[in-house]
Structure 1
């Protein structure tokens, strides 16, 4: 994106090492008002003053310079702050401000009655002197006031805390992307298209600062193709929604009820009530199938718990869910399954009166130390037939003369393996066909992308989600031709999709993002690439946002493998400058996708002045079975070499990156990779490990998914038969080799990778006198998802790298000041 020419006014000057206060040039400030008393009451006199002001700021923030703002009978527009003030009443001022580093200082407001200072729409303080702490970024500063003081001219002064705390007032028309945008902006969370393609049930989620961690969630029934809303839910929103085959009724769960929405007259009937913990609705002819869970109730007086199995480390394992059938006409419900093991519904066939379901009994005899029973149930007499027991299984769907199955390459004695002489990764999903006689054939053996979910069309073709390199597209599988065809969805990463299964030329709706493009949703036909835009986050939330460019960067490693990568450039990139860089990877079994946002905001890091290199080392799915198979019994052996070699190649190819200011980070398996890399190289100037594994044996024995995941990643290897793997590949046992400053971040409620994994490394490095920091996030699990905690986590990460790679410790010191308190 071409950088806009900016007019900058420096607002801090260094005098003998001290910051000097400077008045902000009023030519960069805009004013609206005064709003006369005939039009609106004085904001500060109402008991609801804060809410009134917040609403005013929200509305004014949306108004551009050319647009009119009507306040009751008074038409207003933004004008120069230096223009003559006509009349009396409350006023608003705004100005854009930018920082190029973490900046602290005091804003002094002169000449206003009862000023309130807002930053990006959020109240900072009601005062004429306001302390500001600003991360590297672009902001809108707004002031509300009840009026002007007599004989005191309006003005704003900035006093930086030190000579580095410069505030820039700019004439720019766009802003760099912010953390709040990436987290708060509205996105589509679910799409459910009617079988005839005429109606779309769409759910969205967004956040507002005033709401804190509570999301704003809305579900709407929309009519296609005009995308008009015909019904809306905000409270008691539908869950488990499913359309009847004739598209006349939408069944869903709400308020502990199964409800039926009639599209013709927009009425709702209650089909069943007092149904707590009900989910997974499916139509079965004129009846409904559903899962009903009975939560396990522990003895609250018990002082101990006897474990029944390794699965008892899972909080939900003793809950029991069984299948039920609801006769919609009469409201009668009958139980279809009754087992001590949860029964999970996969698919149903009303024509032959059968269901496909799974159960997972405890069985540790072979990796991955679990087993899945695939069962067919006849609804007429409730008889069950076990089709098979599998250790590599994901799902199954009925088709006219058999069924589709998704599973790993080893399914049915390795039917899906491309080469029986290589190691394969059981997480590398494959597609199979099981005919009516029980014969199984592999459909995706020659197809490198990893198969994910699947939906069957009326003609028995499939829509499948796949992992293909660092993208997650949709493919159509043509059953008759046994061929996969890529669908042009217009996005790199499909977040969600739905298809009209009863159309001869099916309509598809899809929502997704790309690396530097926020979420869009389209309506299209499977037989055409023409698209109708249904939702565009770019227009709604990022219209005035500028992003840096992204470039592909692949290299060939020493073994001749192509290693996929991409590079994010700062928004205002200048090739003549030297930039610090951040290297990110996962290293586990999944590639790092090209999502626009998420827990790892590459676009935000680039906006804060870093070049970001993301690479996909050996072990990732989506690049073929040989590539993903190198994940097994390796624990860093291949991936660490790829990351080190890739970083060197990246530095050699990008002269604008300062090789002495390169940091690296990863989470979970990527956190393990970060610690492991620290024992192998000093190429990085600083590192961050989030929720990383430091001791393979302890994670295997205690982690939430430890033994099961290790059954794939360490297939056939245990501490007693392969101690070399569990010791030599564990970073903890090589902590003495670490010289890179290391930040360890962990949620102290992490059940997947227990927080002790970071404590082990912290203890080792402290005793060794190495530079290490440990930051725990209270009550956070493996993923830090709540709004404020997410911002604090992002800030902690970037403050660490600012300190180590930019020699700017102020942000870190502000977040974590030195203290003698105990």
Structure 2
């Protein structure tokens, strides 16, 4: 697989089952190198075949009306130098779509009312009545709230995300909520009279959510829960309870999301005991995902459906609020990515991938799943991508550590290899499709990747490394590297590289400031110094305090500096490639500049690649040409320092 082969992938995402389960909508996206964009359109599986029902190129988020007769979706039109225009569209299969409205404030998470008379959605729009002026055309940006910006969205300080309603007959959307802090999710009550929604509780303590209930007609708006973190919500069929994927920060931001029930009659919150010490979200990394509006928890027939992350896999489970739980889809070596459950049957449409095959659409009827699409088959036959070998290492304290080795196909003799470190840290590697890994393996460079402590997919205790960044996680990664060279004799210990992005970039920086065992390194969208990251990242002031178990830096300067690779920068001898997006608001570009400047002053070989117009998600959703250039830079750097693999 070459860097340019990115354009040969088809991304299948966001399935939406029709109410009776006989049909499904889904999104098909393709990277277009010539236009330097992703072309996405809505497709329909009609029970026999599948075909496009919209022309794109910016269509996403399909949703069936309750009677199954009409489709709603979001269309985004982008023109050079102009704000993107977003429409919520309606269409009947076989007819041309028509816009309900068009505006420049975006839209996401569209959801039909139970009666089918209106559609709710989320959008960022200023609360004031005056004309809104694009940030690039203002003489000054006057900011009074945190955060000024958010990764992937740019400046947001005066356009909070709220719930809007639009009639299914069209017209101007009506703002339902008017909060200065963001709404992140919502769900209609079964009778359509109310909407339960999740909103940021406090500006400074931005990790806290609140659960609220608003009457759609009267606007009466009450708080149900506060100081929680909620990843998803769904109503019980009788309308008496709300199911929540949530936690109360028992282990700070390292906490697992668990199933809870909020009783609207009594106001009682109950944790549903499932006997699963796993996070009830899909946290497996992949660089081959299309746009998705899939809800993380869905209700149907008295059951609640949700993902379970386990050892590099993502499974689909279901449970009742009384605590009955059972697996629905539990593949040994795959990721159940997006899913949609039909309302009047047990039919589930889902996308499934593994580490050598991008996602395709499947359907589950009864107990057997069936693959429905084959978009990537021709490319896979041509590319003949290898599967990874799963292995285990044992830490000094006996903890077992999962890792995988992706070896070049038909490699002869010893090969160079890279230890790749995932971000988060509370995400995981495993059976998600990683473009960069296959580009490296196709060039003869093996890739070793695994889940040190701090990763998701294991117990909550395993995930919780607050206050211990750069300690047990570093030791686990070195254990994985040692065990990889012992188990896989093809790996040349003298030609090893190390790389990672976000938290993985932090760990790459930590690795090269604490060992010289790697011949070359690449750090992507990374943090190197926490003292300044605290006040310049879009989440830094609360995330850094939580993960370092520290107070603000003026009260805990020593903790911030002790945890920062920059403190140990004089130990670096490893040649380093720094990759960073200029509009990365999660790990600001100042982090890359500090690292680059320090290594230049110290006389260490270093190269800095900056990517205009890209953000923290460059390797996952950056513009196609930029992603290809990134892959070429990575490949040239590693081949130049580790040698040819074949």
The TM-score normalised by the length of structure 1 is: 0.68
Matched, 1:454 2:296: yes
* Aligned match of 1:512: 352
Aligned to 1:457, what secondary structure does the other structure show?
A: strand
Q: 1:684 aligns with which of 518, 542, 555?
A: 518
Distance (whole Å) between structure 1 residues aligned to residue 31 and residue 135 of structure 2 = 38
* Aligned match of 1:389: 226
Structure 2: 5+ residue runs without aligned partners? 76-84, 127-131, 282-294
Distance (whole Å) between structure 2 residues aligned to residue 445 and residue 532 of structure 1 = 28
Q: 1:550 aligns with which of 361, 385, 388?
A: 388
Distance (whole Å) between structure 2 residues aligned to residue 770 and residue 301 of structure 1 = 41
Distance (whole Å) between structure 1 residues aligned to residue 388 and residue 100 of structure 2 = 52
Structure 1: 5+ residue runs without aligned partners? 1-176, 415-422, 809-822
Query: How far apart are residue 552 of structure 1 and its match?
Result: 1.1
Alignment of 1:280-319 (within 5 A): 280-284=109-113, 285-291=115-121, 292-295=123-126, 296-297=132-133, 303-314=139-150, 315-319=155-159
Query: How far apart are residue 405 of structure 1 and its match?
Result: 1.2
* Aligned match of 2:49: 227
Return closer, same or farther for 1:677/1:469 CA change in 2, 3 Å cut-off: same
Higher mean displacement: 777-786 or 325-334: 325-334
Distance (whole Å) between structure 2 residues aligned to residue 693 and residue 324 of structure 1 = 37
CA contact (8 A) 1:476 1:487 kept: no
Query: How far apart are residue 578 of structure 1 and its match?
Result: 1.3
Distance (whole Å) between structure 2 residues aligned to residue 789 and residue 300 of structure 1 = 23
CA contact (8 A) 2:43 2:53 kept: yes
Return closer, same or farther for 1:711/1:572 CA change in 2, 3 Å cut-off: same
Query: How far apart are residue 208 of structure 1 and its match?
Result: 4.5
Distance (whole Å) between structure 1 residues aligned to residue 398 and residue 253 of structure 2 = 20
* Aligned match of 2:66: 245
Return closer, same or farther for 1:719/1:652 CA change in 2, 3 Å cut-off: same
CA contact (8 A) 2:272 2:323 kept: no
Alignment of 1:232-381 (within 5 A): 232-235=53-56, 238-254=59-75, 258-263=88-93, 266-267=94-95, 272-274=100-102, 277=105, 278-284=107-113, 285-291=115-121, 292-295=123-126, 296-297=132-133, 303-314=139-150, 315-328=155-168, 335-343=175-183, 346-351=186-191, 353-364=193-204, 369-381=206-218
Distance (whole Å) between structure 2 residues aligned to residue 269 and residue 736 of structure 1 = 61
Q: 1:291-335 CA distances to partner (integer Å, 9 max, x unpaired)?
A: 354255368776433331221233123214443444546969655
Alignment of 1:556-575 (within 5 A): 556-574=394-412
CA contact (8 A) 2:210 2:228 kept: no
CA contact (8 A) 2:274 2:323 kept: no
* Aligned match of 1:586: 422
Return closer, same or farther for 1:546/1:260 CA change in 2, 3 Å cut-off: closer
Q: 1:797 aligns with which of 628, 634, 644?
A: 634
CA contact (8 A) 2:198 2:210 kept: yes
Q: 1:671 aligns with which of 505, 511, 514?
A: 505
Query: How far apart are residue 223 of structure 1 and its match?
Result: 0.9
Aligned pairs, number: 605
* Aligned match of 1:702: 536
Q: 1:695-740 CA distances to partner (integer Å, 9 max, x unpaired)?
A: 0111111112222322432244332343332111211111111122
Alignment of 1:492-641 (within 5 A): 492-503=334-345, 506-525=346-365, 527-529=366-368, 531-574=369-412, 577-586=413-422, 588-595=424-431, 597-598=433-434, 600-630=435-465, 632-641=466-475
Distance (whole Å) between structure 2 residues aligned to residue 389 and residue 327 of structure 1 = 31
CA contact (8 A) 2:64 2:72 kept: yes
* Aligned match of 1:468: 310
* Aligned match of 1:64: none
Query: How far apart are residue 344 of structure 1 and its match?
Result: 5.2
The TM-score normalised by the length of structure 2 is: 0.86
Distance (whole Å) between structure 1 residues aligned to residue 162 and residue 431 of structure 2 = 36
Query: How far apart are residue 387 of structure 1 and its match?
Result: 0.5
Structure 1 segments (4+ residues) deviating >6 Å: 329-333
Q: Could you say which structure has the greater relative contact order, defined with CA pairs below 8 angstroms and 6 or more residues apart?
A: 2
Distance (whole Å) between structure 2 residues aligned to residue 633 and residue 462 of structure 1 = 35
Aligned to 1:780, what secondary structure does the other structure show?
A: coil
Distance (whole Å) between structure 2 residues aligned to residue 191 and residue 395 of structure 1 = 17
Distance (whole Å) between structure 1 residues aligned to residue 97 and residue 53 of structure 2 = 16
Matched, 1:431 2:273: no
Larger Rg: 1
Return closer, same or farther for 1:267/1:489 CA change in 2, 3 Å cut-off: farther
CA contact (8 A) 1:491 1:513 kept: no
Return closer, same or farther for 1:538/1:594 CA change in 2, 3 Å cut-off: farther
CA contact (8 A) 1:587 1:617 kept: no
* Aligned match of 1:165: none
Distance (whole Å) between structure 2 residues aligned to residue 657 and residue 269 of structure 1 = 55
Name the Cα RMSD after superposition.
2.8
CA contact (8 A) 2:17 2:24 kept: yes
Distance (whole Å) between structure 1 residues aligned to residue 521 and residue 261 of structure 2 = 46
Query: How far apart are residue 562 of structure 1 and its match?
Result: 1.0
Distance (whole Å) between structure 2 residues aligned to residue 341 and residue 777 of structure 1 = 30
Query: How far apart are residue 206 of structure 1 and its match?
Result: 1.5
Return closer, same or farther for 1:519/1:332 CA change in 2, 3 Å cut-off: closer
Aligned to 1:802, what secondary structure does the other structure show?
A: helix
Alignment of 1:797-816 (within 5 A): 797-806=634-643
